[in-house]
Amino acid sequence: MTISRRSAITGLAGAAALAGANLPQRTQAAEAAAGLKGNIRHSVSKWCYGKFPLDDFCQAVKQMGIESVELLDAKDWPTVKKHGLICAMCNGPDQIGYGWNRVEHHEKLLKGFEEAIPKVAEFGFPNIITFSGNRKGMSDEEGLKNCAAGLKKLMPIAEKHKVTVILELLNSKVNHKDYMADHTAWGVALCQQVGSERLKLLYDIYHMQIMEGDIIRTIKDSHAFIGHYHTGGNPGRNEIDDSQEIYYPAVMKAIVATGYKGFVGQEFVPKRDPLTSLRQAVQICDV
């Protein structure tokens, strides 16, 4: 994801080495074989598992009942398709610090997304990620206005191709200093101003636990604007077991209760055996 994860967290990935109408049919056989309940659609972010070749990783996660390997560039999409998986969240052309909150970025961003979205649709994938950009002294009010203006121009092509543009909420306290879209309310306001069902939020549970807490209430109140979820243990963005402070079974039950039909992406950096930790995380979230 450019300077986003691919740069800002390459070091972490190295250390770890050590809802959509156009979705393909669910991998129900894999879910059944893994003994999953089917209420949560499981995905996983590949960057957290840097040492594994994508082919091998796809084979391993499919056996766990995971349907999607996400945050991939277009060059990797044929590989996940080959394994009967999808990429539930495709990388886009922007970066965490370079986003829609500056008008001077809009022309370049529009061009990039107008090229990328039809390719996402061609593969039958549902979502493409995007970012607000960093504040750099800009007020949240100005940034909101600028983001809305740019994204409104993008919505016709997203609507045409039935691909949802998903703006990620990130914490600006620990990991992404100065990032603008660091609170749910700001993201919800943006979705309301843009006014399209093809703009949603990526609600990263780890990031929002750091910034605002009150996870379950926020999910209940804001679920209509959420198009994707990410996990991660806090503190540290490691395993989501009882070594950290978020109780994921309750969070997953709250997500299911909203009627959500999209994906939950595991996005933690494993400190122990990576595939063992991933399998455990899927079981924890399978409510």
Three-state DSSP state, 166: strand
pLDDT score, position 34: 75
pLDDT digits (tens, 9 = 90+) for 46-87: 999 998 999 999 999 999 999 999 999 999 999 999 999 999
Q: Which residues of the chain have pLDDT under 70?
A: 1-33
Instruction: Tell which residue, 232, 264, 89, has the closest CA to residue 167.
Output: 89
Alpha helices by DSSP H, listed for 64-172, are: 77-82, 106-122, 140-161
Burial class (CB in 10 A: 0-12, 13-18, 19+), 109: buried
**CA angle at residue 115 from 226 to 130, to 5 degrees?**
30
Contact criterion met (CB below 8 Å) for 239 and 204: no
Q: Which residues contact 280 (CB under 8 A, 6 or more apart)?
A: 239, 241
Q: What contacts 223, CB < 8 A, 6 or more positions away?
A: 255, 258, 259, 260
Q: Which amino acid is at 259?
A: G
Task: Give the residue extent of every domain in the chain.
Answer: 3-285
Helix 184-194 vs helix 140-161: crossing angle, to nearest 10:
50
* pLDDT at position 22: 40
User: CA-to-CA distance for 142 and 148, rounded, in angstroms?
Assistant: 10
Task: Please give the span between the terminal C-alpha atoms of the chain, in angstroms, as a whole number.
Answer: 30
Strand partners, 167: 130, 201
Q: What is the pLDDT of residue 7?
A: 42
At 36, is the secondary structure helix, strand, or coil?
coil
Distance CA 231, CA 266 (A): 5
Domain 3-285 CATH class label: alpha beta
CA angle at 259 for the pair 257 and 265, rounded to the nearest 5°:
90
CB–CB of 230/267 below 8 Å? yes
**Looking at residue 27, what is its pLDDT?**
54
- Name the residue with tokens 């243990």: 233
